[in-house]
Amino acid sequence: MDISLEIFNVVFFVVLLTWVLLDIMRRRRDGRSLIHRAGRGCEVFALVTIFSNALISIFYLGFGVYEYWGGGRNVSCKSIFSGMTWILATVVTFYAKNRTHSEQNRWPWVLIIWWIFACSFYLLYVCLYLITHFISIDLPHILLKANIVDFASFPLSILLCFNAFSYDAQKKNDLKQPLLEKEDEAPPENTDTYANAGIWSKATFQWLNPLFRRGRIQKLELPHIPYVPPSERAKNASSVLDESLRKQKMEDSSLSKAIMQAIGKSLAINAAFAGVNTASSYVGPFLITNFVNYLLEKHDNSSIHHGLILAFTFFIAKTLESLSQRQWYFGAQVIGVRVRAALTLLIYQKSISIKYSCPSNGKIVNLINVDVERIGDFCWYIHGVWLLPVQVFLALAILYRNLGAAPSAAALLSTILIMVCNTPLAKMQKRLHSKIMEEKDSRIKVTSEILKNIRVLKLHSWEPTFLKKLLQHRETERNLLKRYLYTSSAVVFLFWASPTLVSVTTFGVCIILNTPLTIGTVLSALATFRILGEPIYNFPELISMITQTKVSIDRIQEFVQEDQMKLIPCHDSKVSNVTVVLEPGEYAWKTSEQDLKTPTIKITEKIKIMKGSKVAVCGSVGSGKSSLLLSILGEIPKISGAGAKVYGTKAYVSQSAWIQTGTIRENVLFGKEMNRGCYEDVLEICALDHDVNTWADGDLTVVGERGMTLSGGEKQRVQLARAVYSDSDVYIFDDPFSAVDAHTGTHLFKKCLLQHLSMKTVIYATHQLEFLEAADLVLVIKDGKIAESGKYEDLIADPNGELVRQMSVHKKSFDQVNTCQQDNRRPHQVNLIKVSEEKEAINNGNLSEKSHEEEAETGRVKWRVYSTFVTSAYRGALVPVILVCQVLFQGLQMGSNYWIAWGTEKEDRVSKERLMWVFALLSAGSSIFILGRAVFLATIALQTAQRLFLGMITSVFRAPISFFDSTPSSRILSRCSTDQSTVDTDIPYRLAGLVFALVQLISIIILMSQVAWQVFILCLGVFALSMWYQAYYITTARELARMVGIRKAPILHHFSESIAGAGTVRCFNQEDRFMMKTMDLIDDYSRIVFHNYGTMEWLSVRTNFLFNLVYFIVLIILVSLPRSAIDPSMAGLAATYGLNLNVLQAWVIWNTCNVENKMISVERILQFTKTPIEAPLVIEDSRPVLEWPMAGKIEIENLRVQYNPALPTVLKGITCTFPGGKKIGVVGRTGSGKSIQALFRIVDPLGGQILIDGVDISKIGLQDLRSRLSIIPQDPTLFQGTMRTNLDPLQQHSDQELWEVLNQCRLAEIIRQDQRLLDTPVAEDGENWSVGQRQLVCLARVLLKKRKIIVLDEATASIDTATDTLIQQTIRKETSGCTVITVAHRIPTVIDNDLVLVLDEGRVSEYDSPARLLEDSSSAFSKLVEEFLRRSSMNKGL
């Protein structure tokens, strides 16, 4: 048979040589090049193939040399011919790699046949050898006889066969790929590579190769990432979970049971891989006794066959362990992806269906970022529940086999003891973790509220106070985190000390009972103890994970099971023309105290609203106008009565505008198809056409988060256009005219409400009483009840009616303006000019600024990120201390193991007592160092996390407003929650774990090298190949890890936006569209996470195989070395520690990559520490005197303001002076109000200066400036807390002062209705107060501060005329001697001011007293007054 094999070798040698010569001649004849640069993907397989061929060649040559020198200068023909053929095969492989493959798509056929032939023969060799040695069958002499080279070459030949076809596939893909690809174009094969992959491809993660190839040649973008399998997509995952929940509800609703039912089948398959992995991991400790005994008993001339069988069995077991572990881990992560997708969608479904008690943004962020993530992660831990007893049982079985019953029982008892000791620590961890989560919820909630209202905080110079409040929450969280991490240190100590304790106990019992200890049984026991340490360590972590997951599931279940709101269905009106029916009933908002639950709105009689009717709702501030409209929409809980019925579709315009992040067009269309003619009509009707024409990108201009880059009037007009374009049956408008100027208000009322919607039913609340006459029905609201209802003419005829009382105040305002005009107007023809001709070019500078995708770093995480992280705590002083602790621990542990192995190698080498005492002391010493390491690491982790958090949050608070305009709050919240959590508890331990594993790996390699120096060279080669694999992997994995963070933020942003506008979404019946968008966002996130997990396993499979090969070769070396050349104790110890070689190596490589991926969280946090900051809060050398400003004189000199260098100038050289103590009104079109905030240096001027009492405001600190001024911004802002904390956030005033300003603002009576008085609660965003009441609170703040300069930016826009008149009187009385700058759309608000400034296109159009401006009928101010009078004169009752 050997002769036959030699003939085959010669034949293949000749065929290979002939093929090469013929191919060279053919190419020379055709004039084709031999050089080709293969694709990166091909390079991997080609290099591995060349390396494998060369290694087999070296094996045969080396064995031939060994035969020559050790076998009497005789070399077998097999070694010569096999070696020559493999050398030629290596040359042909190298040649084939570099030749042009325009015709050939694979390796040459001669090579493939040779590899298959060689692999088949090696397999036959191995099988025959195993048969003869295990079954004791004598086979004919003619059959093959294996040698050590055949065993070593077998796994390499398998690799060659695998690479032959892999390279083929890679080359085909290379041919399909164009030379120049568009970056954003996904390859056609990237539709779903995993679902289309075969078994071998899935086992080796070969299906990821196209992604790696693309990642090497260009930066990965979302379109490049293949889709997840259909089963993991949000729609499918959600439907399966919903089905499970429906089945559960028939019995007892349990979210955990529903999840288990939904993933049961996948979990069972995953459990099979986990079981195979566990069983194969115990083969090593089981066989180590046999291997050590073989080394002890063999002689220099004895056969090595038995040793080779053991080595081969070790190799097969380790390979099976590696492959099953990779499938187990990846399968668990995939199940986690599915669970996360389903739960995220479930939370979203609930979020947009709740309105009665709207969930806080902070809670939603934590539910998704923390709770859903943890439940997904638990899929990885879940098998620990049943694997733990299996692992303990297998360990005890091995101990029983080696040591007997009593030592095994001692090991079991000590194991149970350690687990019992861990239990209270696990409970403490659970309790602390729950508290940390609660505190994190609070911190995120506060952060979200601050970010939402950052403009107000900066205007009032309250950032330091709110930062302090936020840091107090963080400090509480940090104290809990400190206790949690130190508890974790105790758990880590127990983990590393447990093998020591168990081994000391077990060996102690053996010595007491005189159980014989041999080196084989001792090393087997030590290997078992080391594996047993994993379930012992995992037990508290498993308990902790179970409890944490239980907490998370309970939190989600509690959220999901909150009372669903019963939406009012749309009824089809078939009988009559009735569109809305208001039945008698009571409605009230939910409160935590049931006794305080008084009706918000009460309807006492049935009201029918006919089709095409116009219904006006009026009343004073807080009377219940908005509540009435919301009760019609079904957004307020009904206490009693039948409720409202709406027939047909609805459209809603809220008082506080809700605008989506996106283009103007997307906001207007709101999911409907584009009808160009209708669309343009709507823009013209809603006075948006002129604005759209002035924006650089027209209606494709992107608006910022919550419409932040639009003015108040523009926001209202956009959402009005959204309602009009919807072409609904019933329109409900909640005072949309307050935020626009007189011209625009009249235009909207006439063109939109009276003309375009003439055939539609419109219910509108308004404070502009001049709009009442056009209504078919007027509802007058007072104290939550409909005080009067009827036609306008009938109500105005009742001299004692509520409407007449309100109209009388309005009449005084009208008379005031009219008189002022009559006195100053020269006789002339009044020229009424249409609003459409008056529209002016207001270019809101922020608007054209594109909302951009989150910027991510590219390439490797920079070393400065690592150095910043490592040196953040105590300048890195504790890092060397931790390293020394780890090295000493490793040294003492290996020393103790060597000591007991050496002591038991020969009987009576050392006394049993001394053997035990020295072993116990060395083990105790190693445990002490591990405790020190754990404590120091926890200390570093705490300090580092806190320093990074402070650096980030301080920079964010000091960032200019432009940063918040262009950065969605979800992006900042993502860093404050997910990234900060990673830094708090993850990165320090991953980084340290990498270093510790590296120390262990180096120690094992040094130990192996002591036994056989060749191992060191082999390990260097394998390390080089592993690092090459890692470098190939990391370019793709790094970008995927970056995208994970980036793709999470849009989900959170969409959640926040949807919750804020849930009422609007429901009213327009857009829930399904928003659900689809959520699914798309979740799927985008899932595909990144899915492939991120897959790439890690791709690397682990390959590096595991390499180090399994190293271990296999080490065992073969130990088997083949003569007995006299090895120390059995050292060799046995090397073999025992080598069992962990692949695990440690995989941990090092995987952790190296994972640390870089996780360090992206640090990189993202550090990005925000480098945000541009505003001018200093305080400039010590240039502080104004305490009494500044004393006169309040403001001088503006050639002021030019630009929001962004790329945008046009907003203020174009304004020069004017506001005398001290005067009242100045600022009027103009919508958008002018923002400009006045230049006074607060929200935007630093491009040129010119502003002097206040002679002090240049650009030369003093921002806090000194802003704290001396007062402003009421256009959007009233309240913070969650109490009325006291909202009025006086800095706690500088007494209760008496607070009540004084409340009385002045007509709020005292409302607050006294609540028994908690000044401690009356204020909900998030002030939701439990009307918009008008919120503006009154903001006014009270200003009056409380008693500043010399006050800016009122549409301060009374949402207040009825009567209250506005009273407030204006209060302002005049309380601010006498102050400079008051009023930006207003209401003419009565500014008509009695000392001066009026009219802005036009960023320039001063007019600036004089109202009387002088009214003298000129052609002045812009005259036209505004004329429009107000014309609009007001529509009331015949005046």
Q: In sequence order, what DSSP letters do the residues of 921-966 get, joined into one string?
A: HHHHHHHHHHHHHHHHHHHHHHHHHHHHHHHHHHHHHHS-HHHHHH
Q: What pLDDT band is residue 35 in, cutting at 50, 70 and 90?
A: very low
pLDDT at residue 145, rounded to an integer: 61
DSSP for residue 276 = H
pTM: 0.66
Neighbours of 1377 (CB within 10 A): 9
The per-residue pLDDT for range 1113-1141, each reduced to its tens digit, is: 888 877 877 766 677 777 777 777 777 77
Q: How far apart are CA 1386 and CA 1369, in angstroms?
A: 15
CB within 8 Å of 999: residues ≥ 6 apart: 883, 886, 887, 890
Q: Give the residue carrying structure tokens 């931790």.
A: 882
Helix (H, G, I), strand (E, B) or coil at 544: helix
Q: How far apart are CA 1081 and CA 1057, in angstroms?
A: 14
DSSP for residue 1376 = T
Res. 568: pLDDT tops 70 = no
Q: How far apart are CA 266 and CA 308, in angstroms?
A: 39
Of 669, 695, 727, the closest CA to residue 1231 belongs to 695
How much is the average pLDDT of 1325-1331? 74
Res. 120: pLDDT tops 60 = yes
Q: What pLDDT band is residue 809 in, cutting at 50, 70 and 90?
A: low
CA-CA distances (angstroms) from residue 820 to 204, 1391, 1393, 1395?
87, 8, 12, 14
The per-residue pLDDT for range 138-157, each reduced to its tens digit, is: 544 444 566 677 777 777 77
Under 8 Å between Cβ of 341 and 1082: yes
Q: What stretch of H or E contains 251?
A: none
Of 484, 485, 495, the closest CA to residue 537 belongs to 495
Q: What pLDDT band is residue 981 in, cutting at 50, 70 and 90?
A: confident
Q: Give the residue carrying structure tokens 């009012």.
A: 568
**Mean confidence (pLDDT) of the chain:** 77
Q: What stretch of H or E contains 858?
A: none
Q: What pLDDT band is residue 69 in, cutting at 50, 70 and 90?
A: low
How much is the average pLDDT of 377-398? 84
Which of 666-670, 849-853, 1038-1042 has the largest mean confidence? 666-670
Q: What pLDDT band is residue 828 in, cutting at 50, 70 and 90?
A: very low
Q: How far apart are CA 608 and CA 92, in angstroms?
A: 92
CA-CA distances (angstroms) from residue 172 to 42, 101, 183, 190, 716?
10, 10, 21, 15, 57
Q: How far apart are CA 382 and CA 542, in angstroms?
A: 8
Res. 167: pLDDT tops 60 = no
Q: How far apart are CA 633 and CA 1236, in angstroms?
A: 38
Under 8 Å between Cβ of 1317 and 1235: no
H, E, C per residue of 323-356: HHHHHHHHHHHHHHHHHHHHHHHHHHHHHCCCCC
Q: How far apart are CA 625 and CA 765, in angstroms?
A: 6
Q: How far apart are CA 1275 and CA 1297, in angstroms?
A: 25
Neighbour-count burial for 1135-1149, b at 16+ CB within 10 Å, e otherwise: bbbbbbbbbbbbbbb
Of 814, 817, 818, 809, the closest CA to residue 1360 belongs to 809
Q: Give the residue carrying structure tokens 């105005």.
A: 796
Helix (H, G, I), strand (E, B) or coil at 73: coil
Res. 177: pLDDT tops 50 = no
Q: How far apart are CA 400 and CA 1031, in angstroms?
A: 45
Which of 66-70, 1075-1079, 1271-1275 has the largest mean confidence? 1075-1079
Under 8 Å between Cβ of 1236 and 1351: yes
Which of 270-274, 655-659, 1142-1146, 1399-1403 has the largest mean confidence? 270-274
Which of 179-188, 719-728, 1246-1255 has the weakest average pLDDT? 179-188
Return the percentage of the chain with pLDDT > 70, whole number.
81
Q: How far apart are CA 1111 and CA 1142, in angstroms?
A: 8
pLDDT at residue 1230, rounded to an integer: 52
State both tokens at 38: 């293969």
Which of 173-177, 659-663, 1085-1089, 1426-1430 has the weakest average pLDDT? 173-177
Which of 704-708, 1064-1068, 1105-1109 has the weakest average pLDDT? 704-708
How much is the average pLDDT of 286-303? 74
pLDDT at residue 172, rounded to an integer: 45
Neighbours of 544 (CB within 10 A): 23
Q: How far apart are CA 1184 and CA 1164, in angstroms?
A: 39
Backbone angles phi, psi at 104, to 5 degrees: -95, 135
pLDDT at residue 631, rounded to an integer: 83
Looking at 1060-1191, which runs of residues are DSSP E strands? none
State both tokens at 595: 């006794």
Under 8 Å between Cβ of 970 and 708: no
Which of 137-151, 477-491, 1150-1164 has the weakest average pLDDT? 137-151
Tell whether the torsion through CA atoms of 407, 412, 416 and 421 is positive or negative: positive
CA max distance for the chain: 134
pLDDT at residue 138, rounded to an integer: 54
pLDDT at residue 101, rounded to an integer: 42
- Regarding predicted confidence, which is higher, 265 or 35? 265
Res. 1361: pLDDT tops 70 = no
Return the percentage of the chain with pLDDT > 90, whole number.
0
How much is the average pLDDT of 1169-1196? 84
What amino acid is encoded at 653 in this protein? V
Please list the residues that pair with 782 across neighbouring strands.
785
Res. 1170: pLDDT tops 80 = yes
Tell whether the torsion through CA atoms of 236, 240, 243 and 249 is positive or negative: negative
